[in-house]
Structure formats: structure tokens, C-alpha cells
Chains A and B, each alone.
Chain A
Amino acid sequence: MRLNIPDRYLDLLPWLMATLLVAGIVHIVSVLLMPTVAPRDALGRLATYVKSAAPAEGVVLLPPMAPGDETLPFEDPAFAEAVCVYDLGKGPLRVKTSVDGEDFLGLSFHANAGRIYHSMTDRSAIKGKIDIVIGDARQIDAMQSADEGDAPPPSEVRLTAPAKRGFVLIRSLAKRPSDQERARNRLSAISCQRFDLPQG
């Protein structure tokens, strides 16, 4: 049996396949590049806000959410939120607070380009305390080798961040709208500070 296709169309077949190949490559590359080229990703938005609000480091409270004035999209309006934007190039970071076991407090650790490498709630606090150290692989190694002595085992949780830049987003639930003030106070009690690696 012979297919009755004019040669003209058969000649175009390789070009059609080339078109699809190019389309596939463009699609994959553009999807993979999106996190690096998107200018208004969460880190970009938060870094802009932190710079405009307070040039200091540490925990910066986000303004109460209002229509047209949301720092990030798709956030829960029942929450008060704070952020700690970091750059591990300057040193490792310690996030510390105590929890009362009653009110929901969520911490998520975001690397740049949209990846959460750790998240927790106040439920996983140890003895009512949250004490987390973030560092890059080299800084965590340095801390671990500094431990090898007769010092007591570290009391903090150590996280290796996959990228130097990122942010810690802290969400504090206001169970009722009238609890917003209390929820914001809980956020102010959190410390997020850079520290120097132990020498040795």
C-alpha cells in the first residue's frame, strides 16, 4: 500500500520535527530559568520591603495585610508575619525564640529560587524553645569540628542551607481578629542574628 502524500509535504517533515525539537528545548529551558530570572519572586519582594522598612538586620515584621497592600500573594489573612532575609556570605545565622505551646507559630526556611529546605511549627520546639542555626556546608562543618572536644552536645538544630541567599518566614496565627496585636508581639520576641564562627 502506498500513502498518497505529495512529496512536497514529505520534504517539510524534517523541518516540522526541527520545529518541535526547538519548541521542546525552549520550553524546558524557559521553565528551568524562570526561578533565576523572575524579578518579583518572594525573596525579591521581601528584600525590597525589608530595605524600605528598616535597614537593620534581624526580624522585620510585615505590615498587616490589606487589600492592595499584601507583601506576598496567597498568604493567610489570619496571620501576622515576619521575615528574616539573610545572606550567609556574611556568616551563619541563629533563629531563636520560646513558644508557649498554645499559639500556632510556623517557621519556614526558603532558599532563593523558590525552594523550602526546612519548615516547622511550634509543635516541634524542644522544651519550649526553638533554636535553629543556618549555615552553608562549610560553616556547618566548621561548627561540627569545633564541637569535637569535651564540650556538651549542641542544643541547637543545625540546618545546611542549599544557597547563600534566602529568607526565614515566620507566621504567627491570630486565632481571632482581636488577637493580631498579641500575634505581632510574639513575632517581635523572635531573634534572628548573624554570629561569628567559633575560632579554632
Chain B
Amino acid sequence: MDLRPYANYLRAGSAMIAGLAIGLLATVLSLNAGYGFNSLRAGPWAAWPHIGGADIDPYARAVISRSGEAPLGRDQGLAFIARADSDGAALDGECAYRIVDPMPAARFWTIALASPDGRLVANPTERYGYSSVDVLRKENGAFEIDVAREARPGNWLSPGQAQGFVVMLRLYDTPLDIESNPDPNSFPKIVKLGCA
């Protein structure tokens, strides 16, 4: 059968199909890459303050309506997420980490573990995070939070049997400037202690 008279139709058809596939792929990739533009970064921590306001960009709206989350309002505080330790290696449930001072100014802060898709991490202690009020501090006010599967003295968060997890740092009523990247040295460090 001679297809030559229909060559242009075939080409148009494949251009359509290929365009559809590439376009949807670009959408999936861009929605998995974070919450759109204008992120704040400080060491391993990243926040997207604009998702909490009326000027949220279309990418961020698409991301949060797909994941089903209700972000923190911009006038309430900032939620930072860390997917890696301070050396840039992805957080791994097999490893032990220590989260140490300092902390940016805020009326309250909380540090909690979450699964990469935002669920609580099941663990035997049933403790999912610490707040600025209930964290145990040293004499000078400094604190350390250990993240490890085995029990630790002091502040201890367990990732349970999770392989991958993220650390959420939420600052409530914070005077932090959201127009420029904050000083990474004013944010907690996530130090890897070792891996099983």
C-alpha cells in the first residue's frame, strides 16, 4: 500500500502525539521538582514562601492541588524541608543523624520527620517531632536532636523502618526576611553520624 499521499497527515499525527507526550512529561517532571519558583534556600533547607499567599504561581498551585496539602499561610510562618543532610547526601533511614543549633528567630519552632510524600513516619516511640518548648536543652540553651533507628538518650526521633524520609523545620511567627536567601549559618545543621 502506498502511503506517500498521506505522508503529511502521518507527520502531523505523529507531531501531535509526540507533542502531547512531551508536554505531559514536562508537566510531570516540573511538578515533581518542588513548588515552582522563588524558593528560599539555606544549607539543606528549602522553603517556598509564596505558596502561602495570594500570589502563588501556577506551578505551585498545580503541585499543592495534586498532593492535597494546605500550606502554611505566609503571615503564619515558614515551613522548610530538608531532603538531604548538610553535606548534600540524601537522608537515609539506615543512617543516624544529629540536628544541631542554631535556629533562626521565631516565636515557636518545630522539627519533625515526614515521609517524602508528607505522611507521618511510623515508629515505635510514637513521637514525630519536637517543638521549641519541649525539646531538651543544654545549660546554654543549645539543643541536639538525634535521628536514628536505635534509641538515643536526650532528644530522639526515630525514622522507624522508613528508607527515605525528610526533615521539616517550621518557624511560626518568624521575622525572617522572605525576599532573599537567609544565612545558612543561622539554620540548624544535619550532621550524619554514621550508617548501619
Q: Which residues of A contact B (CB under 8 A)?
A: 12, 15-16, 18-27, 30-32, 34-35, 38, 40-42, 44-46, 65-68, 70, 72-78, 104, 106-108, 110, 113-121, 123-124, 162, 167, 169, 171, 173, 175-177
Q: Which of B65-73, B88-96, B141-149, B183-191 contacts A (4 or more CB under 8 A)?
A: B65-73
Residue on A with the closest CB to B113? A77
**Identity of the chain A residue whose Cβ is nearest the Cβ of B166 in the assembled complex:** A74
User: Which residue of chain A has the shortest Cβ distance to B76 in the bound complex?
Assistant: A106
Closest to B64 in A: A114
Q: Is the CB of A121 within 8 A of B26?
A: no
Known contacts A24-B23, A68-B119, A116-B56; A175/B131 CB under 8 A: yes
Which chain A residues lie closer than 8 Å to B59 at the CB level?
A: 31
B104-128 Cβ-contact flags toward A at 8 Å (1 or 0): 0001101010100111111000011
Q: Are A108 and B65 in contact (CB under 8 A)?
A: no
Q: Once the chains bind, are B108 and A73 in contact (CB under 8 Å)?
A: no
Whether B134 sits at the interface, judged by CB under 8 Å, is yes
Complex Cα gap A38–B27 (Å):
14
User: Which of B19, B58, B72 interacts with A31 by CB under 8 Å?
Assistant: B58
Our pick among A18, A77, A104 for the contact of B172 (Cβ within 8 Å) is A104
Q: How many residues of B contact A (CB 8 A)?
A: 61
Q: Which of A20, A32, A34, A169 has most chain B Cβ within 10 Å?
A: A34
Q: Is there an interface contact between A19 and B76, defined as CB atoms closer than 8 Å?
A: no
**The residue from A18, A116, A123 contacting B12, defined by CB atoms under 8 A apart:** A18
Q: Taking the nearest CB of chain B, how far is it from the CB of A200, in angstroms?
A: 32
B31: A residues at CB distance < 8 A: 31, 34
Give B1-30 as 1s and 0s: 1 = Cβ < 8 Å from A's Cβ atoms.
Answer: 000000000011011101111111011001
| Distance, CA A26 to CA B22, complexed state (A) | 8
Q: Which residues on the B side are within 8 Å of A44 (C-beta)?
A: 68
Q: Which of A12, A66, A121 is within 8 Å of B120, CB to CB? A: A66
Q: Which of A25, A38, A67, A76 has the most CB of B within 10 A?
A: A76
